Amino acid sequence: MVDPLVLLPEFLLLAGALAALLLGLWTPRDRQRRAAVIAVVACVASAVATAGALPGGTETAFHHTWIVDGTTGVTRLVVAAALIAAVVLCRSAFAHHDRETEAYVLVLLAGIGAIALSASADLLVLLASYLLASIPLYALVGFAKDARGVEATLKYYLMSALVGVLMLLGAATLMLAAGQTRYDTLEASLPQAPTGVVALGALAVLAGMAFKAGAVPMHFWLPDAAAGASPAAAAVITTVPKVGALAAAFRLVDMPFADVDANVPVLVAAIAAASMTLGNLAAFGQTEVLRLLAYSSISQVGYVLMAVAVAARSDLADAGLAVYLAAYAVANVGAFAAAAVAPRARTISEWAASAARSRWLVLSLTVCLLSLVGTPPTGVFVGKLAVFTAAGDGGFGWLVVLAAVNTVASLFYYLRWIAPAFTQHTASAASSAADVTPADVTPANVTPAQSAPAAVVHVTAAGSVVLGVLSGLWLATTVG
Amino acid sequence: MLTVVVFLPAAVAVLLLAIPRIPDRLCPHVWVAAAALDVVLVGWLWWRYADEEAGGGIAFEARLDWIPTVEAGYHVGVDGVSLPLIAMSAVLFLACAVWSVRERQRPRTYAALFLFLQTVCLGAFAALDLILFFVFFDLSIVAMYFVIAGWGHGDRRRSALKFFLYTFLGSLALLVGFIGLFLGADERTFDMVALAADPPLRDSPLAAGLVLLAIGLGLAIKTPVFPFHTWLPDAHTDAPAPGSAILAGVLLKLGTYGFARIAMPMLPEAWERWAMVVVIVGVVSAIWGALVALAQTDAKRMIAYTSVNHMGYVLLALGAVGLAGQADTDAGAVAAVGAIVQMVSHGLLTGALFLLSGVLWTRGRTHEFSQWGGLARPAPVFAACLAVAAFGALGLPGLSGFIAEFQIFAGAIQAAPVPAIIAVSGIVITAGLFLLALQRLLTGDTAIPARVPVRAGAGARRFDDGDGDDGGEDRGRSENRTGPMPDLSRWEVGAVVPLLALSVLIGVAPRALLNVVEPAATTLASVFGG
């Protein structure tokens, strides 16, 4: 039977979601903070439960359809941390909203879906996880019920439904080829199956993961969804499901597709190359903060996919995935939190005008964005180092060169945000104390609703650097 | 101990930022104190070096695991190549600190940024791990970007961006090369000592060549050599004077140091095979840099291009080491000594030259030759310093530049006679251009540009006042600008004169430096021809 302790982190999140939902029903609107507290406590408990079990060997549940190993552990920890930040951001965005509690519940459920994606060791479980990771987010994207949000939700929903059907088709094809849906049996039987059928099925299943991860060519929904949602919701959809989907893709390439004749690694490498390049190119022209970050997250997925491509070829791949996912999540949440500091500012210059007064905020934002570039000694630098090394080790030298070029290119658009913030800060610092600052940006006017995201920015910036410096420790505890 | 030297400035920087109680005007003084303390500590390192190094030439080693999965760690140490550069950097940072004591524009952030930059530069020279080196190498770019973007003048945003993108491209190429070294090594590691002891990719010339290409490209952009030098003049011209001094004096050395520390010992066969290309690139840079410098009408731009020229000599020497390897290790060692001394000498002299060009900017807001003239009369100290620095830079005997260039040519003439002779002609051009510059600035009728435009409004003035050294005694005169040019202030003298004095010291009594450099140079040269 199933050892309940194996699934303890998921149970804790689920219990937190249910408790928050029930408590929220009986709580007056102005005291819904307690639901947020419960959600945060559940996330912390889940992370602690995960950390307590690390570094463990591989365990399975539900007749080998659910697998708990280092990759799952990484996803659990990263998702729990991202959920805490997401709850804090949602609190500041939706405080005293009619449906405030629902936001926390949706976020937690999406987090469980993401963990389920990474833990799936069966195509049917993967499909169910896909739905669990998607459906709460439709509601979250359209939470504000404004025109942009509703349009974004509809686009997200339609694309997601289409890709879900495609995945179902892929799973059916693979089952047709091998007579099985469990990864461990697929790994043995797929190499004997007809190559064309396997290739078709693998392509369709990976398409689902590419969609959730926002990888080219399944990325169209992401910028619209991110720009239409609030920064808090955008932070969730560009972090939580991506982490789960990338871990799931890693597992797919590592287990069922490891020995098939169809050259899955090259396919993934091509997706990686397209994602990083097109994401970057599209980000160049963006003037809106959220769209810029959405495209940046598309290109970041490309780098992670380098580790996925060599999942079965290089011993360094799982280390690369473990560091990169964590580092990306931290830095990405930080950047979106910076956007949430000034939720009404859509463009970069508006943001700089309203939020760049604080020296520390600009410094932390700079750290987060430079971390996304991959500047040492931040986490993403170690992640890039590890995935580049793994990709080179796996024989994708060309991909490493392309990724290096893309990294340089990405610097350009991150600087487009850093430079105005820095200059704005310069200008405001240079103006004398006697100057009357505009009423809307005096320190007194920064309400608590905006200081919480700023705190998230600071914490993530510090976290980025700490993760980089202590990456050895992180790797030792997660992948062993 | 070395770790303390490296991280002391950064710690002070954090203190400056974290304790707002330290008044703004005191921040530069804290900075000077920290830099001075660091110089003292480096002096102690130098003094103890002979006793501490145990055979292998590396002293003050420290080691700490960082990312065991890829065998990358915190591993620092100094040897005869890095110690002189660390000492030179510490002195130059102190000079910049002294020069900036009167900085008015956000002095706290400015001081913190420079202290951070100092940690990064010293760390890069001390690093004995490729990844650690890369970390510091990359952070130096980031810090310098903010120095230029925040305190530069002219079209500073654009120049800073160009600098960042260009050198970041170089650093990524470097990273790709490092990964190549890691993957090519028998025992996969990023540790420099281990890699140099057992050079990777011995049996695959093609892969070794490609890795050398990646590393060479990365370092060539940083150095910079022709044709990758185009970021340099803009960055230099628009950076504040101490920023230019550090950029030319220290950051460029990271490129040439990287060749001597990484490319040569770790890829000896590939380096030997492609040494002629290195020599030619070096010579072209030297000549091109000199010719373009000759054509400049802006003093700071001219100095910037002479950096390309001087770094070309270093590259010529390092290429010659590879060529000489087989035939004559002694000639190779001489060339290597020349290269290292040239790095130190160039740091001191170009640092001084850039600080002196900053004097022009604070007095007249322009570096144009046409705006200035006859400065020897109103500003004799300035004139004397400029003359000494210029003569040092053109290689006059008695100054450090001569010791360096003489050895470079002595070592190179045997291995690569034709390129060496061509390069010597570069010295003639350099001599011409420095003399021309001195003549334009110091002799003739006194001409001092009026500083009208900046006085337009109090608010605008504060922004423009990048170099901030116009307070105090100089304020009274700035009301009517046609008066004589104020000579160097106490602080400016305190910044520039020690640099020149050190250069003279190396020129007159080079033994103290050569005793440290020569064993390391011999080791470097003996890598070849084995």
Residue B415's φ and ψ, nearest 5 degrees, are -80, -40
Q: What is the pLDDT, as a whole number, of residue B466?
A: 39
Q: Is A162 on the interface with B (CB under 8 A)?
A: no
Burial profile B280-314: b = 16 or more Cβ within 10 angstroms, e = fewer: bbbbbbbbbbbebbbebebbbbbbbbbbbbbbbbb
- Closest-CA distance, B227 to chain A, in angstroms, reads 19
Look at strands A66-68 and B72-78 and give their pairing. unpaired
Answer for the pair A352, A424: CB distance below 8 angstroms, yes or no: yes
Whether B454 shows a pLDDT value over 70: the answer reads: no
Q: Which stretches of B274-328 are DSSP H helices?
A: 275-294, 299-327
Which amino acid is present at A253? V
User: Hey, which residues does B368 pair with through a beta bridge?
Assistant: B298
For A227-259, the DSSP string reads: HHS-HHHHHHHTTHHHHHHHHHHHHHHHTTTTT
Question: Please, is A98 exposed, middle or buried when counting C-beta atoms within 10 Å of its C-beta (0-12, 13-18, 19+)?
Answer: exposed
Query: In a 3-state reduction of DSSP, which class is residue A263?
Result: coil
**Which residues on B lie below 8 Å from A382 (Cβ)?**
67
Q: What is the pLDDT, as a whole number, of residue A446?
A: 42
CA dist., res. A46 & res. A79, Å (int): 10
Burial profile A99-121: b = 16 or more Cβ within 10 angstroms, e = fewer: ebbbbbbbbbbbbbbbbbbbbbb
Q: Please state the length of chain A.
A: 480
**Mean pLDDT calculated for residue range B419-435:** 88
Residues 6+ apart with CB under 8 A from A54: A70, A73, A477, A478
Q: Has residue B168 been placed in a domain?
A: no
Cα–Cα nearest to A214, from A105, A296, A110:
A296
CA dist., res. B53 & res. B80, Å (int): 10
Q: What is the pLDDT, as a whole number, of residue B526?
A: 83
The answer to whether the CB atoms of A430 and B106 lie below 8 A apart is yes
Q: Has residue B84 been placed in a domain?
A: no
Residue B60's φ and ψ, nearest 5 degrees, are 55, 40
Interface of B with A (CB under 8 A): 65-70, 72, 105-106, 109, 131, 134-135, 138-139, 142, 146, 149-150, 157, 161, 164-165, 168-169, 172-173, 175-176, 179-180, 182-183, 459, 462-463
**Band of pLDDT at residue B187, cut at 50, 70 and 90:** confident
Which amino acid is present at B478? S
Residues 6+ apart with CB under 8 A from B332: B320, B321, B322, B324, B325, B411, B415, B525, B528
Q: Which two tokens stand for residue A360?
A: 């520390």
Per-residue pLDDT of chain A in tens (480 residues, 90 and over written 9): 567 788 899 999 999 999 999 998 888 888 888 889 999 999 999 999 988 887 777 888 888 889 998 899 999 999 999 999 999 999 888 888 888 888 999 999 999 999 999 999 999 999 999 999 999 999 999 888 888 889 999 999 999 999 999 999 999 999 998 888 899 888 888 888 888 899 999 999 999 999 999 998 888 899 999 988 889 999 999 999 999 999 999 999 998 888 888 889 999 999 999 999 999 999 988 889 999 999 999 999 999 999 999 998 888 898 999 999 999 999 999 999 999 888 888 888 888 888 767 778 888 999 999 999 988 888 999 999 999 999 999 989 899 999 999 998 998 889 888 888 877 766 655 543 333 344 344 444 444 446 888 899 999 999 999 998 888 888 888 876
Best of A284, A370, A389 to disrupt the B interface (most B CBs within 10 Å) is: A389
Best of A408, A424, A479 to disrupt the B interface (most B CBs within 10 Å) is: A408
Dump pLDDT digits (tens) for B76-103: 888 888 999 999 999 999 999 998 887 7
CA dist., res. B185 & res. B166, Å (int): 29
Distances (CA, A) of A100 to A17, A25, A47, A72, B112: 13, 10, 24, 30, 43
CA dist., res. B264 & res. B245, Å (int): 27
- Closest-CA distance, A472 to chain B, in angstroms, reads 4
Q: Has residue B161 been placed in a domain?
A: no
DSSP A11: H
CA dist., res. B119 & res. B127, Å (int): 12
Q: Please state the length of chain B.
A: 530
Nearest beta carbon to residue A389 from set B70, B106, B142: B70
CA-based torsion, A201, A202, A205, A206: positive or negative: negative
**Which residues on B lie below 8 Å from A319 (Cβ)?**
69-70
Q: Could you give the maximum distance between any two Cα atoms of chain A, in Å?
A: 79
CA dist., res. B411 & res. B360, Å (int): 38
**Mean pLDDT calculated for residue range B320-327:** 77
E-only strand ranges, A172-309? none
Residues 6+ apart with CB under 8 A from B246: B92, B93, B96, B114, B117, B121, B144, B147, B351
Answer for the pair A134, A241: CB distance below 8 angstroms, yes or no: yes
CA dist., res. A62 & res. A181, Å (int): 13
Q: What is the pLDDT, as a whole number, of residue A258?
A: 86
Answer for the pair B211, B177: CB distance below 8 angstroms, yes or no: yes
Q: What is the pLDDT, as a whole number, of residue B54?
A: 67
Nearest beta carbon to residue A392 from set B134, B169, B179: B179
Q: What is the pLDDT, as a whole number, of residue A420?
A: 82
Q: Which two tokens stand for residue A175?
A: 């089952």
Q: What is the pLDDT, as a whole number, of residue B237?
A: 86
Domain span at B398: 274-449+485-530
Residues 6+ apart with CB under 8 A from A192: none
Dump pLDDT digits (tens) for B208-266: 899 999 999 999 998 888 888 888 888 888 889 899 999 988 999 999 999 998 988 88
Q: Which two tokens stand for residue A214?
A: 């926002």
Answer for the pair A15, A40: CB distance below 8 angstroms, yes or no: no
Answer for the pair B378, B485: CB distance below 8 angstroms, yes or no: yes
Q: Which two tokens stand for residue A105?
A: 């519940």
Answer for the pair B155, B149: CB distance below 8 angstroms, yes or no: no
Nearest beta carbon to residue A422 from set B149, B179, B183: B149
Tell me how far apart the terminal alpha carbons of chain B are, to the nearest angstrom: 35
Helices (H) and strands (E) in chain A, counts: 20, 2
Dump pLDDT digits (tens) for B372-388: 888 888 888 888 999 99
**Band of pLDDT at residue B457, cut at 50, 70 and 90:** very low
How far does Cα A173 stand from its chain's mean position? 29
Distances (CA, A) of A430 to A425, B103, B155, B243: 8, 13, 19, 20
The answer to whether the CB atoms of B69 and A388 lie below 8 A apart is no
Answer for the pair B240, B358: CB distance below 8 angstroms, yes or no: yes
Q: What is the pLDDT, as a whole number, of residue B85?
A: 93
> A217 preceded by cis ω (within 30°)?
yes
Neighbours of A192 (CB within 10 A): 12
Q: Which two tokens stand for residue B507?
A: 């020129």
- Comparing alpha-carbon positions, the chain A residue that sits nearest to B182 is A389
Whether B464 shows a pLDDT value over 70: the answer reads: no
Tell which phi-psi region holds residue B324, choosing left (phi > 0), alpha (psi between -120 and 50) or beta. alpha
**Mean pLDDT calculated for residue range B99-108:** 83
Answer for the pair A65, A182: CB distance below 8 angstroms, yes or no: yes
Burial profile A78-88: b = 16 or more Cβ within 10 angstroms, e = fewer: bbbbbbbbbbb
Q: Has residue B464 been placed in a domain?
A: no
CA dist., res. B314 & res. B405, Å (int): 9
- Closest-CA distance, B358 to chain A, in angstroms, reads 22
CA dist., res. B38 & res. B32, Å (int): 10
Answer for the pair B352, B422: CB distance below 8 angstroms, yes or no: no
Q: Has residue B331 been placed in a domain?
A: yes
Q: At A68, which helix (H) or strand (E)?
A: strand A66-68
Residue matched to tokens 């499909």: A127
Q: What is the mean pLDDT of chain B?
A: 84
**Band of pLDDT at residue B479, cut at 50, 70 and 90:** very low
Residues of chain B with pLDDT > 70: what percent? 92
**Band of pLDDT at residue B461, cut at 50, 70 and 90:** very low
Query: In a 3-state reduction of DSSP, which class is residue B227?
Result: coil
User: Hey, which residues does B72 pair with through a beta bridge?
Assistant: B67
Query: In a 3-state reduction of DSSP, which class is residue A405?
Result: helix
Domains contained in chain B, number: 1
ipTM of the complex as predicted: 0.85
Q: Has residue B170 been placed in a domain?
A: no
CA dist., res. B325 & res. B12, Å (int): 45
The answer to whether the CB atoms of B168 and A411 lie below 8 A apart is yes
Lowest mean pLDDT among A117-126, B151-160, B275-284, B345-354: B151-160
Nearest beta carbon to residue B138 from set A376, A472, A476: A376
Q: Has residue B244 been placed in a domain?
A: no
**Which residues on A lie below 8 Å from B176 (Cβ)?**
388, 400-401, 404
Tell me how far apart the terminal alpha carbons of chain A are, to the nearest angstrom: 27
Q: Has residue B311 been placed in a domain?
A: yes
Cα–Cα nearest to B145, from B215, B29, B217, B231:
B231
Tell which phi-psi region holds residue B283, choosing left (phi > 0), alpha (psi between -120 and 50) or beta. alpha
Q: Is A276 on the interface with B (CB under 8 A)?
A: no
Task: Write out residues 450-479 of A within 8 Å (CB-CB) of B.
Answer: 469, 471-472, 475-476, 479
Q: At A66, which helix (H) or strand (E)?
A: strand A66-68
Dump pLDDT digits (tens) for A63-102: 888 999 889 999 999 999 999 999 999 988 888 888 888 8
Which amino acid is present at A265? P
The answer to whether the CB atoms of A375 and B68 lie below 8 A apart is no
Q: Which two tokens stand for residue B82?
A: 């890095």
